[in-house]
Amino acid sequence: MNTLRNKVQLIGNLGNNPEIINLESGKTLAKFNIATNDSYTNNKGEKITDTQWHNVVAWGKTAQIVEKYLTKGKEVAIEGKLTSRSYDDKQGNKRYITEVVCSELLML
């Protein structure tokens, strides 16, 4: 059970083409988002689909695979850990972001 402390698994579709950043250190960073869908029936008998968007980042070899093979609309399964961070935008407002740091990727 100790290995399950911060683990996220998602299956979804890419919302956009990945953004690839090659850093001066030689590392590669891929940023993309995926949509997951959940369906349920409300009390009126109507089928409702709830779409959630997830920010994902991948580093190194995983980022290179993302760059080479993934495009908007592709279905993927990812596994990683959930992280949160904050930053100040151009207007000086504090912004918060939660993202999945992808450690494993499976193209479906």
Q: Which of 83, 71, 82 is nearest to 19 (CA)?
A: 71
Closest C-alpha among 59, 6, 5, 9 to residue 32: 59
Residue 26 has pLDDT above 70, yes or no: yes
CA dihedral sign, ordered 96, 87, 15, 104: negative
Q: For residue 83, with 0-12 CB atoms within 10 Å meaning exposed, 13-18 middle and 19 or more buried, which class applies?
A: middle
pLDDT at 4 over 90: no
pLDDT of residue 5: 84
